[in-house]
Amino acid sequence: MRKPAAARPSAGTSKPEAAKKLRLPGRPTTAAKVDARGRILDAAIALFAARGIAATPLRAIAQATGVTPALLHYYFTSKDSLVDTLLAERIAPFVALSAAPLLAPWPSPRATLRRFLEAHMRNLAAHAWMPRLMVREVLSEGGSLRERVAAQFSGALAQKIVALIADAQRKHEIRADLDARLIGLSMVSLAVFPFAAAPIWRGVLKPAAHELNAEALIAHTLALFDSALENKHAKPQR
């Protein structure tokens, strides 16, 4: 008995359309991979910032993303793999954007420091997850990212900031009676704390919608930078 011929695309059906109709379910397409992978990373970093890395199972990330645990495992074989990717594709670009003024300094070290402070604050304002993640996983005891962030980012940045401050002091652009290391610590604290502590101080101060926004915080911090580091005027001798 003759077997029926396999169905063929009609003359009016193009080859790409026919291939699409005959495609069997399997691995996601390239476009789908990029979209799902990016959404998984976004969900992971939001949950890590809110709950902490240790307290966030992969299943919760899959649920927040709207994918199956199996699909998440297809992209990231373990939580360690996911964290490695977040460091490379989310945290490293963030640090690079903040550090850009330090890597291309202006002739004036003071101007470079001021530009870094503003760039870092704008970066923090655009990535609300970063200060929360740093508080949970870098500043807190037992934080999962403390050693890795210190080794990969913080150490090198701190050295560049302190070197610029010392250079500005030598050039008499800022007051030289303060420890350059502590000036650097104060600068970073001024930049990060308003964003890290926003849930608390916004509730206490209860600013109107147009008050104490990111622009106001940046302008205020830059004004403090300008005034606090002015060279001390010589006092008249008695």
Q: Is residue 13 included in any domain, yes or no?
A: no
Residues 73 and 133 in one domain: no
Residues 175 and 202 in one domain: yes
Cα–Cα distances in Å, from 128 out to 139, 147, 187?
16, 22, 19
Q: Is residue 5 included in any domain, yes or no?
A: no
Closest CA to 27 of 13, 39, 37: 37
Q: Is residue 201 included in any domain, yes or no?
A: yes
Residues 170 and 216 in one domain: yes
Whether the per-residue pLDDT at 133 is higher than 90: the answer is yes
Residues 105 and 85 in one domain: yes
pLDDT at 70: 95
Going by pLDDT thresholds of 50, 70 and 90, the confidence category of residue 206 is confident
Whether the per-residue pLDDT at 205 is higher than 60: the answer is yes
Residues 119 and 33 in one domain: no
Is 121:224 a contact under the CB 8 Å cutoff?
Answer: no
Residues 55 and 84 in one domain: no
Domain count for the chain, please give it.
Answer: 2
pLDDT at 29: 57
Phi-psi region of 142 (alpha: psi -120 to 50; beta: other; left: phi over 0): left
CA angle 122, 125, 131 (to 5 degrees): 115
pLDDT above 90 covers a percentage of the chain that reads 71
Task: Write down the residue that tokens 């003359």 correspond to.
Answer: 11
Residues 34 and 107 in one domain: no
Domain boundary among 77, 108, 136: 77
Domain boundary among 77, 106, 140: 77
Going by pLDDT thresholds of 50, 70 and 90, the confidence category of residue 32 is low
- Domain range for 114 is 79-228
Q: Is residue 15 included in any domain, yes or no?
A: no
Helix (H) or strand (E) holding 80: helix 79-86
> At 163, which CATH number?
1.10.357.10
Is 174:185 a contact under the CB 8 Å cutoff?
Answer: no
Residues 6+ apart with CB under 8 A from 40: 61, 62, 65, 67, 72, 75, 76, 82
Mean pLDDT value across the chain: 86
Average pLDDT over residues 109-135: 96
Residues 150 and 42 in one domain: no
Nearest-angstrom CA–CA distance, 116 and 102: 7
- pLDDT tens figures, 153-195: 988 899 999 999 999 999 999 999 999 999 999 999 999 999 9
Q: Is residue 10 included in any domain, yes or no?
A: no
Residues 40 and 99 in one domain: no
Q: Is residue 23 included in any domain, yes or no?
A: no
The model's pTM is 0.80
> At 67, which CATH number?
1.10.10.60
Residues 103 and 184 in one domain: yes
Nearest-angstrom CA–CA distance, 63 and 157: 36
Is 76:40 a contact under the CB 8 Å cutoff?
Answer: yes
Q: Is residue 157 included in any domain, yes or no?
A: yes
Q: Is residue 1 included in any domain, yes or no?
A: no
Domain boundary among 8, 42, 77: 77
Residues 83 and 148 in one domain: yes
Give me 223's structure tokens.
């004004």
- pLDDT tens figures, 212-233: 889 999 999 999 999 999 886 5
Whether the per-residue pLDDT at 94 is higher than 90: the answer is yes
Highest mean pLDDT range out of 15-29, 33-47, 177-191? 177-191
Residues 219 and 153 in one domain: yes
